[in-house]
Structure 1
Amino acid sequence: MFFVANTANSQNKKTWFDANWKVVSQDKASYYRPTPQVKKSGYWIVDYYLNGKIQKEGFSLTATAADPSFDGLVKYYFENGKPSQQITFKNGKIDGVLKTYFLSGTLKSETYYSEGFREGRYSSYFETGELHERGEYLKNLKEGNWKTYYRNGKIKEKGKYEKGEKIGIWKTYYKNVYK
């Protein structure tokens, strides 16, 4: 009997976090995490807002409270239940695509990562879905041709980056305010 009751209590234990993900007492918390579920070679972690809605869920190689080592897709949610981010991790580092979303649930940006560095294509969007900006990253720095767009799809600005710095001639196209 003691074993069953003790197991049930440990499964219901919650760790409380403040807005900066520091472990705190329940009265100072913004989020909480029930005891993670043991899965194959790690733990399934689900964090919650105080209202009981899911804030984050994903697989971790460790069960450490404030610093899990995520591996695979981790999903984050706004308090309204819509997605806020989806991040692919490998051994605790971002590795793959990171998608961010507007509060409405529409895609805000897509950034590709390799071993924790922004690496490859980047795209951002207006909340209405139109492309806003597109370019590439190399080791966290903007590299190559970049373009920004107006909501109507016309180019607003274009130019080139080298090691995160604008180089060469940049062209800016102004909207005709009289049309």
Structure 2
Amino acid sequence: MRKSHPLFFPPFVIRVFFFFAATCLLASCVTTTESGPTPAIAPPEPKNPLSEVTVADLNDSVELETLLSDAIHKDRLQLQGEEGNELYFAPNPPYTGWAKEMYENGQVSRLVQFKRGKQDGLRIDWWGNGQKMVQGRFQEGKRHGIQTSWYLEEGQKQAENIYDNGKLISAVVWKPNGEKCSHTNVLDGFGILVAYHPNGQKQGQGRYEDGEKEGLWIYYSDEGEEDHRETYLKGRLQEN
């Protein structure tokens, strides 16, 4: 009886078979991948143009008017929380954006930037005639960086202070006539500060320790008479 022989395929047939098998397997993988759920890619967070406003923008009347039209009135903000941890709400959640205060004549008196319920960014105050009164920055609710103030008359510079996380590091004061005050000497958070009324009379004086008001501070009327006294301990006003 003749024995049966196993099937025999020529080598080129075997190569063709494996080529098609590999192609089908690859196609199956690609199809499985493409048909599966596509991982979600979070779109980039849109930038808020109001958060990128600079001092130069606020010096432009058109830019300022645009910003004022978008800013909410500060009266709408609600201060909540314990002392030292207060947050501003409008009404929920903690407010991020710009807030304004206005004079009765319609002139802006203050423009403040908030982030997550705290003053964070630019803050500018104006006199009633439209001239700048104070300009500075806040960080996490505390003064930070350079703060400049001006007298009402002719925009004469009044003071230039540098803050670090709410503490006064250095201070330079000018009298209304432009003369630098030699009595003010605050350096590295320690020293004496003297302030003046626009008419040249002394407004107040006291000392700083470690960047905070300390001890007795005396304040005067614009006629040069003593008005009242305050006592501070590590920056906190003490009750008499």
TM-score by length of 2: 0.41
Residue 125 (structure 2) pairs with residue 100 (structure 1): yes
Cα deviations by residue, 1:128-148 (Å, 9 ceiling, x for unpaired): 21100001011211103x111
Determine which structure has more spread, i.e. the larger CA radius of gyration: 2
Structure 1 residues not aligned, in runs of 5+: 1-43, 48-54
CA contact under 8 A between 1:56 and 1:77: conserved in structure 2? no
Aligned equivalent of 1:127 = 152
State which of 86, 90, 93 in structure 1 corresponds to 2:115.
90
CA contact under 8 A between 1:101 and 1:107: conserved in structure 2? yes
Aligned equivalent of 2:219 = none
Change (3 A) 1:156 1:68: farther
Give me the CA root mean square deviation. Answer: 3.2
Aligned equivalent of 1:34 = none
Cα deviations by residue, 1:26-68 (Å, 9 ceiling, x for unpaired): xxxxxxxxxxxxxxxxxx7855xxxxxxx7689xx9642xx87
Letter in 2 for 1:142: L
d(CA) in 1 for partners of 2:176, 2:71? 39
Residue 177 (structure 2) pairs with residue 136 (structure 1): no
Shift of the alpha carbon at 1:105? 2.4
Structure 2 residues not aligned, in runs of 5+: 1-69, 78-87, 195-199, 201-240
CA contact under 8 A between 2:132 and 2:150: conserved in structure 1? yes
- Aligned with 2:110: secondary structure? strand
d(CA) in 2 for partners of 1:68, 1:131? 38
TM alignment of 1:33-48, pairs within 5 A: 46-47=72-73
Aligned equivalent of 1:78 = 103
Shift of the alpha carbon at 1:74? 1.7
d(CA) in 1 for partners of 2:114, 2:75? 14
Aligned equivalent of 2:17 = none
Letter in 1 for 2:169: E
Cα deviations by residue, 1:60-84 (Å, 9 ceiling, x for unpaired): x9642xx873322222111111111
- Aligned with 1:113: secondary structure? strand
d(CA) in 2 for partners of 1:63, 1:97? 19
Shift of the alpha carbon at 1:126? 0.2
CA contact under 8 A between 1:131 and 1:149: conserved in structure 2? yes
d(CA) in 2 for partners of 1:126, 1:45? 26
- Aligned with 2:181: secondary structure? strand
Q: Tell me which protein shows more helix as a share of its residues.
A: 2
Cα deviations by residue, 1:75-122 (Å, 9 ceiling, x for unpaired): 211111111101011111111111112222221101211111111101
CA contact under 8 A between 2:113 and 2:122: conserved in structure 1? yes
Change (3 A) 1:46 1:90: closer
CA contact under 8 A between 1:122 and 1:136: conserved in structure 2? yes
CA contact under 8 A between 1:100 and 1:110: conserved in structure 2? yes
d(CA) in 1 for partners of 2:115, 2:146? 19
State which of 130, 143, 148 in structure 1 corresponds to 2:173.
148
Aligned equivalent of 2:186 = 160
Aligned equivalent of 1:33 = none
